[in-house]
């Protein structure tokens, strides 16, 4: 309701709740998923940190300062969370629009991304790679339906995310 839990967070927390319910109801043979427990713990810790920063220190909140106060794992989880909520915006980048126009595909979306580097100074700069795809129009000639590339996300003290595409190209596994 307050925008603290993303869809990605919800997915992990829901999966954890299923495991917790099985154990609570006596299914002690349930296989414990350590990665799921670790991810759930990281999400909870991030949420508590965000609540603390947003609501207890609201008078002079600086998101980049908040990010710099996190340890490496917490920072990675926080950055992944903010990118998962905003990465779709790269579809509106001029260079991506130009590439999409050379294909006959439609309905483009970002399928996956990977954070490659995070640096914090006056702003947080995140280097990432991505893959986007569209649906091919069967009534037209095939000119590709996948774009891969690299980009930079700049996160400001106000928690705004600005994307720059560094490199992008149409990917065709048939070539």
Q: Residue holding tokens 């307050």?
A: 2
30-81 pLDDT per residue, tens = 667 778 888 888 888 777 776 766 555 555 678 898 899 888 988 998 999 8
Cα dihedral sign for 38, 44, 48, 49? positive
96-128 pLDDT per residue, tens = 999 999 888 999 999 999 999 999 998 999 999
* Three-state SS sequence of 14-54: HHHHHHHHHHHCCCCCCCCCHHHHHHHHHHHHHHHHHHHHH
d(CA 71, CA 99): 38
* Short-list 94, 88, 116, 85, CA closest to 165: 94
Q: Is the separation of the CB atoms in 65 and 35 below 8 Å? A: no
Output the pLDDT for position 12. Answer: 86
Output the pLDDT for position 30. Answer: 64
* Short-list 162, 170, 160, CA closest to 97: 170
Strand partners, 106: 135
d(CA 137, CA 131): 19
Output the pLDDT for position 169. Answer: 94
Assess whether pLDDT exceeds 60 at residue 2. no
End-to-end CA, the chain: 46
Q: Is the pTM of the predicted complex or chain greater than 0.75?
A: no
């Amino acid at each position: 309701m307050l925008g603290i839990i993303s869809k990605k967070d919800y997915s992990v927390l829901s999966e954890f709740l299923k495991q917790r319910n099985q154990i609570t109801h006596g299914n002690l043979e349930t296989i414990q998923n350590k990665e799921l427990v670790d991810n759930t713990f990281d999400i909870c810790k991030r949420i508590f940190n965000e609540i603390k920063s947003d609501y207890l220190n609201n008078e002079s909140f600086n998101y980049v300062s908040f990010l710099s106060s996190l340890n490496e794992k917490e920072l990675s989880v926080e950055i992944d969370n903010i990118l998962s909520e905003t990465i779709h915006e790269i579809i509106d980048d001029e260079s991506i629009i130009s590439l999409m126009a050379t294909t006959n595909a439609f309905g483009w979306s970002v399928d996956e991304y990977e954070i490659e580097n995070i640096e914090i100074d006056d702003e947080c700069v995140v280097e990432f790679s991505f893959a986007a795809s569209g649906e091919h129009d069967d009534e037209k000639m095939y000119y590709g339906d996948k774009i891969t590339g690299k980009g930079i996300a700049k996160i400001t003290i106000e928690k705004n995310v600005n994307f720059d595409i560094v490199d992008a190209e149409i990917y065709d596994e048939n070539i």
